[in-house]
Structures are given as structure tokens and as C-alpha cells.
């Protein structure tokens, strides 16, 4: 995986927690030490406005606020790098740890390539493969599954 570590923000229910803990320890070791901090790959949402009315600006400000981040994360299924987000708002220890890593000043965040992949891969076999890997599926099996999702032409 190199120095970058992919964090899965959308973990499905039913993941084997022992496998998660084992792989979390591997990730933790990869992040430990070094002067560079850690690298994280992930995805995100971008808010765009098509006018500059006061109402539009207020909505954008709210969507970037700690209040929105805490409210949304408490519903489950997502995390945020918002510095005002309380990691305890997250629904699981792995999501809480992911938030802590994202909020760390030594973390460098990069967008992953899933949005550049064909849909069958980026939101299909790649996403499923990452969840399977965290859940304990061997890496070679996961890589074969992801590769099989690529269109032949």
C-alpha cells in the first residue's frame, strides 16, 4: 500500500470486528513514526453554488460548519475532516479513529481514484473489494475481484 492508507468511510454492517482490528493495527503501524505524518486517500463531497444570494451563502456556511458535521455524522455512515467534529459523534470505534486521523495536522489527504474509474469498478468492484479486504478477504483475492470489474474494451 505504500505510505498512503485508504480509509473506508462507508463501512457496511456485518463486518468481522476481529478482522477490522487486525487490519487497523497494520494501518496503525504504517502510520506510526516518521516526520512526514501520514497520507490518507478518500473521497468527499463538494458544494457548488450557482448564485451568490444571501440564502445560498448561508446554506454553504452551514454545510461547512461543525454543527452540520456533528449532526450528519451522528446519523451514521459518513465521517468528516471538519476540525469542529467530535469523533465521539461517529457510530463505531473505527469511524472515530478515522476522524481522528483526518483531523490530525500531520495528515495529508489525497482524493482516491475511484471517481476516475468506470462506475462498475469505482462504485462496484473497487468499493466492494476494499470492504472485503477490511473484513478479512486475502489481498490477492480482492485484487482479482477488482480487476475483473474493468470493462474489456
Task: Give residue-wise pLDDT tens across range 98-150.
Answer: 899 889 888 888 777 777 788 888 888 988 998 888 888 999 999 999 999 98
Task: Give residue-wise pLDDT tens across range 63-97.
Answer: 999 999 999 999 988 888 899 999 999 988 888 98
State the burial class of residue 46 (Cβ atoms within 10 Å of its Cβ: 0-12, 13-18, 19+): exposed
| Judgement on whether residues 77 and 141 belong to the same structural domain of the protein | no
| Judgement on whether residues 105 and 126 belong to the same structural domain of the protein | no
Number of domains in the chain: 2
pTM, rounded to two decimals: 0.57
Structural domain containing residue 91: 4-112
3-state secondary structure of 88: helix
| Judgement on whether residues 132 and 149 belong to the same structural domain of the protein | yes
How far is the C-alpha of 44 from the C-alpha of 79, rounded, in Å? Answer: 10
| Judgement on whether residues 93 and 151 belong to the same structural domain of the protein | no
49 phi and psi, to 5 degrees? -120, 145
| Judgement on whether residues 134 and 71 belong to the same structural domain of the protein | no
Amino acid at each position: 500500500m505504500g505510505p498512503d492508507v485508504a480509509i473506508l468511510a462507508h463501512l457496511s454492517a456485518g463486518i468481522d470486528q476481529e478482522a477490522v482490528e487486525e487490519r487497523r493495527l497494520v494501518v496503525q503501524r504504517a502510520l506510526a513514526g516518521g516526520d512526514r505524518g501520514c497520507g490518507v486517500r478518500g473521497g468527499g463531497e463538494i458544494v457548488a453554488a450557482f448564485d451568490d444570494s444571501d440564502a445560498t451563502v448561508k446554506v454553504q456556511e452551514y454545510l461547512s460548519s461543525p454543527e452540520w458535521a456533528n449532526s450528519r455524522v451522528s446519523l451514521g455512515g459518513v465521517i468528516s475532516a471538519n476540525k469542529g467534529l467530535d469523533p465521539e459523534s461517529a457510530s463505531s470505534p473505527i469511524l472515530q479513529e478515522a476522524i481522528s486521523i483526518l483531523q490530525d495536522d500531520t495528515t495529508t489527504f489525497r482524493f482516491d481514484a475511484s471517481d476516475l474509474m468506470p462506475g462498475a469498478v469505482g462504485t462496484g468492484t473497487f468499493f466492494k473489494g476494499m470492504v472485503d479486504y477490511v473484513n478479512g478477504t486475502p489481498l490477492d483475492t480482492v485484487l482479482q475481484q477488482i480487476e475483473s470489474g474493468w470493462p474489456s474494451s
